[in-house]
Amino acid sequence: MRKQHHSQIASTGILTDKVLKRVKLLLISDIDDLHWRLGEGQADLVLSLGDVADQVILEAARAYRCANIFAVRGNHDYNASSKFPNPVIDLHMTTSVWGGMTFGGFNGAWRYKSKGHYLYDQSEVCRYMSTFPAVDVMISHNSPRGIHDRDDGIHLGFEGLTNYILEHRPKYLFHGHQHYAQYTQHGDTRVFCIYGAREMEI
């Protein structure tokens, strides 16, 4: 299993120092297919929110003529021992500046079973997120607790994410995992639940 350094928050550095007035996003999550079949277009940045095969991420980026990709892993991503392929940048517990905005990310789901990849106890996520710096855009696989989640034993949101957006008030939080599409304004943060693919400008 790939070794994770959760206690340290890294930065990938600045990918572009150009400040963009509007950024065209392609958001993808929870795609149960081994190839991209959801259309083509143009995007400035692809955000993959977990449970998407690496090959699908790359094919989606090519279909949208986009070389800039941020991603986190989901609880059904089984290639835990491998890194994302280039040019995908893993945002888990990391920040990166792109287009004048700071992005951050967090993997996985809450620990609903004893074995599996990218599963976390609520207390772990609270601890990790308590030291995570403020960002403009947060991406995660799981939802914040109490926002878009379900009390079904599997799809509980992360309390640490809820605490984080209340404290740091990112402009956006994008997540997957819940298998439906929804938008909620939570304080100053726009929270989007993504299922499949969605184009958006921010």
Give the model's confidence band at 141: pLDDT under 50 very low, under 70 low, under 90 confident, else very high: very high
Asked if residue 3 belongs to a domain, the reply is no
Asked if residue 58 belongs to a domain, the reply is yes
Overall domain count for the chain: 1
pTM for the predicted model, two decimal places: 0.88
Asked if residue 34 belongs to a domain, the reply is yes
Asked if residue 114 belongs to a domain, the reply is yes
Predicted local distance difference test score (pLDDT) of residue 149: 84
End-to-end, the C-alpha distance of the chain in Å comes to 36
Q: Is the pLDDT of residue 1 over 60?
A: no
Asked if residue 117 belongs to a domain, the reply is yes
* Type of residue at 147: I
Asked if residue 66 belongs to a domain, the reply is yes
Which domain does 106 fall in, by range?
A: 21-201
**How many CA atoms within 13 Å lie on the side-chain side of 6?**
13
pLDDT tens readout for residues 15-57 = 555 787 799 999 999 999 999 999 999 999 999 999 999 999 9
Asked if residue 106 belongs to a domain, the reply is yes
Segment among 32-36, 102-106, 147-151, 189-193 with least mean pLDDT: 147-151
Asked if residue 11 belongs to a domain, the reply is no
CATH no. for residue 134? 3.60.21.10
Question: Concatenated DSSP letters for the chain?
Answer: -----TTS-EEEEES--PPPSS-EEEEEE---SSS--S-----SEEEE-SS--HHHHHHHHHHTT---EEE---TT---TTSPPPTTEEE-BTEEEEETTEEEEEE--EE--SSS-SSEE-HHHHHHHHHTPPP-SEEEESSPBTTSS--SSSS-PPBHHHHHHHHHH--SEEEE-SSSS-EEEEETTEEEEE--EEEEEE-
